[in-house]
Structure 1
């Protein structure tokens, strides 16, 4: 059970959050627990939705964005985000089980995406302190400066949702996927 209250309905959320949750409902057909939880702070919900929306307009393909989300969620041990992004990866990005498993392990079966996922995982592992070699690897795979910045921003956004969901133990409302045991 979540350690912070999650409004059960849009109407139970703070008034300032309700129009934003209505927009999420129109877009997704449902309002996942993460959004309703974040709605406790209208400012945080607005920031999350604005950053997510801006990044969706970027040049990284949706499957690559999902691959990054899976790698980051696994690295941070976030079951909520692993569950949500596994669902999105299968149903919207059309990634297969082998690809999802590779992503969770910090790689990809697609050579170009592999560089992005490895770079994202390296960002998490090194807390942003990547080497020139790390940058050159992602550049050599064909990612330009704007795309590298987008990869970094996707990592940052996913780290935020991972930390939030782990800290408050958000109730998982997707088919449950658990992080591998940290060794």
Structure 2
């Protein structure tokens, strides 16, 4: 059994405290899935480093990053992560219709965001065994070979947050409560 204690900047391990404080400043709270990682220095440090590189050095726009992360949360059926990334996507200015389509397991009407959502979910569902048609569709929407690799980075980051949330089932933060989600909301299930 893993600890279900969500740590923050005061209760976390010393090397992670400053980074947890940065998260609290950015989000208004330390996201529960990240607070659960603190008991493993290997996990928290890997996550924070990977997420920092993904956000600061990646080529996706802010709304594309949020579509990718929300699509991953839906593909991983992570209720906490869907609620959290819904909040983040709406805060970043992603159109509510795009967010709602992804939450329902559908593709957004925006062609570029639909290609990103479809490709990232395929990478998860097919465990990276995407075919040339899927890869070509992603690139036909204007995405680059570098961004194929960035999708893999996003999938890895999502695996860390989504899986720990799926295992520990942390409570939703107050800000994410209005965006609670259940996998039964997926169309066709």
TM-score (norm 1): 0.89
Q: Which residue of 1 aligns with 2:102?
A: 103
- Residue by residue, what CA displacement relative to the aligned partner does 1:34-89 show, whole Å, maximum 9, x if unpaired? 22211112231111111111011211111111112222211221111011101011
Mapped to 1, the partners of 2:36 and 2:81 lie a distance apart of 14
Q: Which residue of 2 aligns with 1:48?
A: 47
Q: Which residue of 2 aligns with 1:138?
A: 138
Write the mapping of 1:160-175 to structure 2, written as runs, cut at 5 A.
160-173=160-173, 174-175=176-177
Change (3 A) 1:106 1:153: farther
- Of 67-76 and 55-64, deviating more is 67-76
Change (3 A) 1:82 1:98: same
Q: Which residue of 2 aligns with 1:121?
A: 121
- Give the aligned length: 181
- Cα drift, residue 17 of structure 1: 2.5
Q: Which residue of 1 aligns with 2:38?
A: 39
- Cα drift, residue 150 of structure 1: 0.6
Contact 1:106 1:117 in 2 (8 A): no
Mapped to 2, the partners of 1:168 and 1:30 lie a distance apart of 18
Q: Which residue of 2 aligns with 1:147?
A: 147
Mapped to 1, the partners of 2:27 and 2:75 lie a distance apart of 27
Q: Which residue of 1 aligns with 2:181?
A: 178
Q: Which residue of 1 aligns with 2:4?
A: 5
Q: Partner of 1:10: helix, strand, or coil?
A: coil
- Of 54-63 and 21-30, deviating more is 21-30
Mapped to 2, the partners of 1:153 and 1:180 lie a distance apart of 24
Q: Which residue of 1 aligns with 2:81?
A: 81
Change (3 A) 1:134 1:73: same
- Cα drift, residue 7 of structure 1: 4.3
Mapped to 2, the partners of 1:20 and 1:97 lie a distance apart of 30
Aligned alpha-carbon RMSD (Å): 2.0
- Residue by residue, what CA displacement relative to the aligned partner does 1:121-163 show, whole Å, maximum 9, x if unpaired? 1111111110011111111111111111111211221122111
> Structure 2, unaligned stretches of length 5 or more?
none
